Amino acid sequence: MKIVSRYKSLASMLLMVIFALSSLATLANDYNIEHVKGDVYRFLDGRHRSVFLVTEQGILLTDPLNESAAKWLKKALKKRFDVPIKYVVYSHNHSDHIYGAEVFKSPETTFIAHELAKQDIQLMKLNTVLPDTTFKDNMTITLGRHTVELRYHGANDGRGSISMLFKPEKLLFVVDWVVVGRMPWRKLWRYDIQGIIKSTQQLLELDFDVFVGGHADIGNKADVKRYLNYIEDLYGAVVDGIHFGKSLDELKQSIKLDTYNDFKQYDEWLPLNIEGVYKRLIEKSEKG
């Protein structure tokens, strides 16, 4: 009986080890590095994305995403490129993008963010590295033959949300408030919709060919313009419906925007997008 019991215990332990290794393998498979253009690469963690620039002088890394992802990325960068991390740049204040930064903390690494993002990190006591350097309107980082232009476009989604333009690649990186090939997130939580429209109009004035977002697909300037068109059409349709006295349920039934039905999550999230715009408009009218 003792022998049988011992074998059962060993079998149980073996299954636990196999399960743990399988879980680790699955986790590792969620992480990936893709070359995008020139010396710029995209890092993928499930539905989150960040980008990094590799030069002989070192690496400029954007959002670290989370501790587990950051640890995986640090090892991958060391193995593949073996140059120091010179800069870590936060796209904005949301914890699902800027956690894990402590993995890259060292005397040779400078952490950069917009001043409002730093303010939120301090006030909310977010568990990440406090930026060493901040800016108000714009900032340019030079690394070898490359420049990265950081710009603040005003309120849109998240505090201190910025765009990052990589040159000479002409690649633009923006997180959360522009999504290529997919609908905006559900009920547009935290979105300043008018701010998003204004900010995206400003993006289209920049000289870029490739767009990479913090979520979804890689695209180009035409894709960003189409996303802006969707936001504008959504906003306009809800405003018109409210003026005609339609209820939220009636708006959900009548607004279709079929031109954009190829966007991922179109069927599931269009009613939620409508509700998000409706509630923000009603909130504004009540405050007024």
Asked if residues 183 and 216 have their Cβ atoms less than 8 Å apart, the reply is: no
Q: Using CA atoms, how far apart are residues 195 and 172, in angstroms rounded to an integer?
A: 19
- The string over 159-181, giving b where at least 16 C-beta atoms fall within 10 Å of a residue's C-beta and e elsewhere, is bbbbbbbbbebebbbbbbbbbbb
230 and 263 Cβ atoms separated by less than 8 Å: yes
Q: How many Cβ atoms sit within 10 Å of the Cβ of residue 247?
A: 11
For residue 288, the model assigns a pLDDT of 53
**pLDDT tens series, the chain, 288 aa:** 545 454 444 444 443 433 333 334 334 458 999 999 999 999 999 999 999 999 999 999 999 999 999 999 999 999 999 999 999 999 999 999 999 999 999 999 999 999 999 999 999 999 999 999 999 999 999 999 999 999 999 999 999 999 999 999 999 999 999 999 999 999 998 899 999 999 999 999 999 999 999 999 999 999 999 999 999 999 999 999 999 999 999 999 999 999 999 999 999 999 999 999 999 998 776 665
Residue 140 forms beta bridges with which residues? 149
Tell me, what amino acid is at 172? Answer: L
Please give the sequence-ordered ranges of beta strands (E in DSSP) within the chain, or none if there are none.
31-37, 40-45, 48-55, 58-61, 85-89, 110-114, 133-135, 138-143, 146-152, 162-167, 171-174, 210-213, 218-219
Q: Would you state the structure tokens that stand for residue 134, as one six-digit string?
A: 């901040």
| pLDDT, position 22 | 38
Question: Cα 168–49–106 angle (5° rounding)?
Answer: 80
Look up tokens 């005397």; give the residue.
107
> What pLDDT, on the 0 to 100 scale, is given for residue 243?
95
Q: What is the DSSP string of 119-165?
A: HHHHHTT-SSPPPSEEESSEEEEEETTEEEEEEE--SSBSTT-EEEE
The overall pTM is greater than 0.85:
yes
Please, what are the domains in the chain?
30-287 (3.60.15.10)
Tokens of 137: 């309107």
Look up residue 83 and give its two tokens: 């140059």
pLDDT of residue 260: 98
